[in-house]
Structure 1
Amino acid sequence: MASNQAPPVVGPADHVEAAATLRASKETLEDYTLRFAPRSYRRWAPGVVATSALGGIAYLADFAIGANIGIAHGTTNALLGILIAAVVIFVTGVPLAVYAARFNLDLDLITRGSGFGYYGSVLTNIIFATFTFIFFALEGSIMAQGLRLGLGIPLWLGYLVSSLMVIPLVIYGMKALSQLQIWTTPAWLLLMSAPLVYLVAAHPESVSSFFAYAGEKGDGHASFAAAMLAAGVCLSLIAQIAEQIDYLRFMPPKTPATARRWWTAVLVAGPGWVVFGALKQAIGLFLAVYLIGHVAGGAGIANEPIHQFLGVYDQMMPGWVAMALSVVLVVLSQIKINVTNAYSGSLAWTNSYTRVTKSYPGRLVFVLFNVGVALVLMEANMFDFLNNILGFYANMGIAWIVTVASDITINKYLFKLSPMVPEFRRGMLYDVNPVGLCSVLIAGGVSIAAFFGGLGATLQPYSPVIAVALAAVLPPVLAVATKGRYYLRRSSDGIEIDPFDEHGNPSAAEIDCLVCADTFERPDMTASATGAGHVCSLCLSTDRTGTHVLPAQR
């Protein structure tokens, strides 16, 4: 909400900074890229936010992942791996989703105060941004396969089309994305579920064939090592909770009247996304097994979602209709997820760049950057190396998410060494907190070494287990060792207004920023070190001289 009062008078040295921060604040009022999402903007009902968030998991990569791990390890081990990964993702996703919805912050802002520090969380932003362009490239590759099969468009051009088409949709932020997800979800659900229903009804023997499938490397029996290799690939999706949070941060306040709907929406659209993801992985393998057994040359195309759906649609309807619906499903899925990938990736890059350089180039710059990196991966044919890429990436994704979840559940609630309220503002935090940063570097580094065989062949399949165990244990160990001294640089932000309302929600009280002359809600503000008034979090981020940054408390 813009203030009507004139900008404050500033000295000559402040003019450039004031102009830059004013531009930055204007550009971010739509989607609150770098700050707390205010109550005045959060007008959606819990169900609308949840539907919008779940619309972002319409990707077809799950079908390819399920097919790949099943073809490699067999149905039994693939399903065990999917289940193991789903449990880990759900358990770690609960505290993150609740914190995001309760305090209206994205995962980067939560991470800052959950063991990483103001600059330390830049590392996790890079991990998350990597997730977004890997999966953007994966979805774009799937769409390009569909365009080549259905319309004869060459792959290189399909990659370009799938990249460029999402840019206009991403520019407008949450308002446009929520409408897109709500209106397209029913059609996507119908197109996705129809082949499964048809096969189970018309070819019930396909169910027994599915459960009997042994894969290329398996013998049909359960193997914990094989299940963990499968789980490692599925766990590459653990960072999806950060994309869910990019929607959940817009949840309305939780009150006694809305508590039940609030909790349902947060749990279903937060960690609950993995239930839908696991089902899609199992369906992808189910369709792949059917193609291998019933379609000529099916083994070579069984891991491509366009062929999975086309192979079944062909039996349900005329060929041209089947092809049209298959292409529509692929394009619809790609748009639904890649607008989220591009949007969330741009938030991550913008956050990191602004903190490090203390300047704000505009979120659109990083939309283009993230899409450009994804396009390079597509042109490099990353789809053929899917399992290796995802298995490697999973180790760092696990290390980050489990570390933050461990800090929230153990260091905050059990040991009381981490601040209960997630702090994100410059000046309130130390630049680096070894608790989270060292945990991620150690857990990720050791698990990656195991993944590449550096710890021996016996431990190689268990790199995800190593990442989970170290990331869960190290934060409390390091917090105790450091006595929690590196979490907060200050305990007071210099504002007398209560930061919470009577229901424990962030206060909606409005305060003017003396730098950009806009008005923001209480949680986004601190007192200025000059004593002249208050300053918003984004103006603090772009304060190159540190004039307004509060000093450390002794």
Structure 2
Amino acid sequence: MNARTESVGGESDETSEHSHQAGKNSKGEKTEDYTARYTPRSYRRWGTASVATTALGGMAYLADFAIGASIGIAHGTINALVAIVVAAVIIFITALPLAYYSARFNIDLDLVTRGSGFGYYGSVLTAAIFGSYTFIFFALEGSIMAQGLRLGLHVPLWLGYLLSTLIVIPLIIYGMNTLTKVQLWTTPLWLFLMIAPVVYLAVSHPSSVSDFFSYAGESGNEKLSFASVMLGAGVVLSLIAQIGEQNDVLRFMPARTEENKRAWWLAVVLAGPGWVLLAILKQALGVFLAVYVLATVSPTVAAEPVEQFRAAFLTAVPAWLAITLAVILVVISQIKINVVNAYSGSLAWTNAYTRVTKHYPGRLVFLALNLAVALALMEGDMFSVLNDILGFYANCGIAWIVTVGADIIINKMILKLSPMEPEYRRTMLYAVNPVGVGSFLLATGLSWAVYFGALGGGIKPYSAIVAVVVALVATPLLAVLTKGRYYLKRTDDGLAEPRFDAQGNPSSGDYVCHVCHEVFERPDMMSCPTHGEPICSLCLATDRHRQHVEFATRVATR
């Protein structure tokens, strides 16, 4: 069904020019990968394998090696490995429903969050959390690249931080098109450089394997310690918000059909929650390499991935080549992940800013902001306090992701209190839904209290678990108490054609927004509250429909 509508009749030249400019701005916005809206079928031209490969390309980050090493050095190998697995199980279970919703309905995690318990303005909180995640991990990866440049080329750290920031800008400006090419071209070399030296080290130095399993860490405790496991898991769980970056790519998945459903599900599982399987491997290898290099360097240096891989390459090749290969690996890894960090961060901050101010400045503005904050963190030497930053941040990320996951699994699928089809459009949602916001704030507050020792030192290691349990219990409880009344302000968006087809996929019918005059597909459209004509979600979010009326009124009264 096509619904093409014109604006107010009898426009003057000035009004026409205004309409033309609105359409021009909207077209520019569409080239920015549908930052704040549904991603239409007409734009999703990639196959399931291409989307999955692009999403998993972001898993090239070396922070896993540093995280695994820091946990292993602090708590020993056995406690570190168990902590890594415990965190991975939690991440996988909570990430699966989120990945499914983004891939099935072609919206990013911020838009999923709006309709999964948080409301239109309530999810601004989580957009800020996710935006913070992206610049924290951009800074972490940039620090690792700077360490590599210092080792291989004797570049000062401050300059290395700057170079690691600037190098991603030309690669990320054009969004998904560039992301796909970067990830596809660099993945084979990255995999070889990461796996080959570790395998060679283990085979050529069998004692490194036995030393790895017997390492007791700085605590000197060779036995399994529940407290140590929980502390380590808390650090790993800081990665729980990584599903947001996976979803920024999964929203480009093609529609699920009978013909592609197996490939579709495989791609969603592997590229969604499946990212954590690769993370487990890298974190465990981080512990292994750190234990190996501890014989020659300090614990702080042993946690640096570039030093870990330099040592691994040295077992197989001359020193000059070992350093060269280690630096190449670090640079490739940093580029692969930081283009994703920068891209996802620009989406998150743009979404939050647009809702609060009703103004869309363009994604590139917040790309620059994200990079500036990340650079400041690098220059402030955040790498030296890695565990403290990640342990504190983890509580926020856990509270958010578990709340949304619980809303999808329990409130939508089991209790039927939350609408199955995600809603993100303004005027369809309440400003704040107490279910998600209340659960998130309660889980975050209590876990922070535990983390800072306000409830006693004995339970301090378990702050991450507190965040999981509180969010998991509070989300359905608040939905029951409120009877689900705050999910939707209205159920009819004023257009006759349904948003979803008989298979549950978003409808593909085209509509013309009567304000910006651009064509958008049915899921992004609704009837304008002011005119009763089709309007896109971004024009509604920025109040362009009201601006349109005010402008036309001024022209008519001249």
* Range class of TM-score, shorter chain: over 0.9
Contact 1:540 1:548 in 2 (8 A): no
Matched-pair contact (CA < 8 Å) for 1:529–1:547: no
State the SS of the aligned residue for 2:517. Answer: coil
Shifted more, 538-547 versus 399-408: the winner is 538-547
The answer as to whether partners of 1:37 and 1:105 remain within 8 angstroms in 2 is yes
Question: What do the CA deviations read for 1:528-552 (whole angstroms, capped 9, x no partner)?
Answer: 1234420001111111675899xxx
Please give the alpha-carbon distance, in whole angstroms, between the structure 2 residues aligned to 1:4 and 1:98: 32
Partner of residue 130, structure 2: 128
Amino acid at match of 1:507: S
Distance verdict in 2 for CA 1:517–1:53, change over 3 Å: same
Whether the 8 Å contact between 1:434 and 1:486 is mirrored in structure 2 is yes
Normalising by structure 1, we get a TM-score of: 0.95
Match of residue 423 from structure 1 = 423
Distance 2:16 2:391 in 1: 49
Deviation at 1:323, TM superposition (A): 1.0
Matched residue, 1:538: 538
AA of the residue aligned to 1:28: K
Q: Is the 8 A contact 1:24 1:362 kept in 2?
A: no
Q: Residue in 2 aligned with 1:205?
A: 207
Deviations 1:249-304 (A, max 9, x none): 000010011000000000000000000011100001100011113xx225442100
CA–CA separation in structure 2 for the residues paired with 1:358 and 1:155: 40
- Give, in whole Å, the separation in 2 of the partners of 1:267 and 1:305: 28
Aligned to 1:394: 394
Q: Deviations over 1:492-536 (max 9, x none)?
A: 111111222342210111111100101110000001123442000
Match of 1:552 in 2: none
Q: CA deviation at 1:218?
A: 3.5
- The CA deviation at 1:362 is 1.0
Deviation at 1:203, TM superposition (A): 1.1
Partner of 2:222, secondary structure, is coil
Q: CA–CA distance in 2 between the matches of 1:415 and 1:5?
A: 40
Q: Is the 8 A contact 1:25 1:538 kept in 2?
A: no
Task: Give the letter for the 1:120 counterpart.
Answer: G
Unpaired stretches in structure 1, ≥5 consecutive residues: 550-554
Matched, 1:214 2:230: no
Are the counterparts in 1 of residues 143 and 378 from structure 2 also a CA contact under 8 Å? yes
Summarize the Cα distance change of 1:442–1:532 in structure 2 as closer, same or farther, 3 Å threshold. closer
SS at structure 1 position matched to 2:395: helix
Deviations 1:453-478 (A, max 9, x none): 11101110000000000111111111
**In structure 1, what residue type is equivalent to 2:427?**
G
Cα 1:456–1:100 shift into 2, 3 Å? same
Normalised TM-score (structure 2):
0.95
Q: Pairwise mapping of residues 330-345 of structure 1 onto structure 2 (< 5 A)?
A: 330-345=330-345
Q: Distance in 2 between matches of 1:8 and 1:168?
A: 41
* Aligned AA (2:249): Y
Q: Aligned partners of 1:482 and 1:5: how far apart in 2?
A: 39
CA contact 1:7–1:516 (8 Å) conserved in 2 = no
1:429 partner amino acid = L
Deviation at 1:246?
Answer: 0.4
Structure 1 residue 414, shift from structure 2 partner: 0.9
In the alignment, does 2:409 pair up with 1:409? yes
* Structure 1 residue 423, shift from structure 2 partner: 0.2
Q: How many Å apart are 1:28 and its aligned residue?
A: 3.0
Report the RMSD for the aligned CA atoms in angstroms: 1.9
Deviations 1:340-389 (A, max 9, x none): 00000000000011111111111111000000000000000000000000
1:139 Cα deviation from its structure 2 partner: 0.3
Q: Secondary structure at the match of 2:203?
A: helix
Distance of 2:392 and 2:108 partners within structure 1: 25
Structure 1 runs (4+) deviating above 4 angstroms are: 3-22, 544-549
Worse overlay, 503-512 or 70-79: 503-512
TM-aligned CA deviation for residue 167 of structure 1: 1.1
**Which secondary structure does the structure 1 equivalent of 2:520 belong to?**
strand
Q: Displacement of 1:20 after TM fit? A: 5.3
Amino acid at match of 1:534: P
Q: Give 1:337 shift.
A: 0.4
Question: Which residue of structure 1 aligns with residue 524 of structure 2?
Answer: 524
* CA distance in 1: counterparts of 2:32 and 2:69, whole angstroms: 39
5 Å-filtered alignment, 1:393-472, equals 393-472=393-472
Match in the other structure for 2:238: 236
Contact 2:75 2:217 in 1 (8 A): yes
One-letter code aligned to 2:46: W
Match of 2:309 in 1: 309
**Alpha-carbon distance between aligned partners in 1 of 2:289 and 2:157, rounded to the nearest angstrom:** 24
CA distance in 1, matches of 2:27, 2:455: 49
Separation in structure 2 between the aligned mates of residue 248 and residue 156 of structure 1, nearest angstrom: 35
- Answering whether residue 200 of structure 2 is matched by residue 183 of structure 1, we say no
How much has 1:21 moved relative to structure 2? Answer: 7.0
Q: What is the aligned partner in structure 2 of residue 47 from structure 1?
A: 49
What letter corresponds to residue 389 of structure 1 in structure 2? Answer: I
8 Å CA contact retained: 1:28, 1:34: no
Structure 2 distance, partners of 1:96, 1:316, is: 43
How many Å apart are 1:204 and its aligned residue?
Answer: 1.7
- Kindly provide the amino acid, as one letter, of the partner of residue 185 in structure 1: T
Instruction: Indicate the residue corresponding to 2:552 in structure 1.
Output: none
Separation (CA, whole Å) in 2 of partners of 1:4 and 1:179: 36
The CA deviation string for residues 179-211 of structure 1, in whole angstroms up to 9 with x for no partner, is 110110111000000121101211122111111
Aligned equivalents of 1:476 and 1:4: distance in 2?
42
| Residue 14 to residue 417, structure 1, CA distance change in 2 (3 Å) | farther
| Partner of residue 159, structure 2 | 157
Distance 1:365 1:527 in 2: 30
Match of 2:264 in 1: 262
| Contact kept in structure 2, 1:209 and 1:289, CA below 8 Å | yes
Offset of 1:6 from its aligned partner?
A: 7.6
Contact 1:56–1:336 at 8 Å: present in 2 too?
A: yes
2:58 match: 56
Letter matched to residue 462 of structure 1: Y
Distance change in 2, residues 1:300/1:548 (3 Å): same
Secondary structure in 1 matching 2:315? helix
Shift of 1:144: 0.4
Paired AA for residue 176 in structure 2: M
Specify the SS of the correspondent of 1:520.
strand
> Residues 384, 506 of structure 1: CA spacing in aligned structure 2 closer, same or farther, 3 A cutoff?
same
Counterpart CA distance in 2 for 1:150 and 1:547 is: 56
SS in 2 for 1:210: helix
Identical residues among aligned pairs (%): 61
Question: CA contact under 8 A between 1:21 and 1:538: conserved in structure 2?
Answer: no
Contact persistence 2:5–2:513 (CA under 8 A): no
Partner secondary structure for residue 59 of structure 2: coil
State whether residues 22 and 515 of structure 2, in contact with CA within 8 Å, keep that contact through their aligned partners in structure 1. no
For 1:289-346, what per-residue CA distance to the aligned partner results, in whole angstroms no more than 9, with x for missing partners?
A: 11113xx225442100000000111121111111111111001000000000000000
Residues 142 and 305, structure 1, Cα contact 8 Å, conserved in 2: yes
Q: 1:68 to 1:489 in 2, by over 3 A?
A: same
Relative to structure 2, which stretch is displaced further, 232-241 or 12-21?
12-21
Task: Say which of 118, 121, 135 aligns to 1:119.
Answer: 121
Q: 1:5 to 1:413 in 2, by over 3 A?
A: closer
Alignment match, 2:67: 65
**Partner residue of 1:493?**
493
Amino acid at match of 1:167: I
Structure 2 unmatched runs, 5+: 550-558
Residue of structure 2 in register with 1:33 after alignment: 35
Amino acid at match of 1:202: S
Distance, in Å, in 2 between the alignment partners of 1:125 and 1:57 is 21
- Alignment-derived partner of residue 365 in structure 2: 365
2:464 alignment partner AA: P
Work out the CA distance in 1 between the residues paired with 2:388 and 2:18: 47
Letter of the structure 1 residue corresponding to residue 460 of structure 2: Q
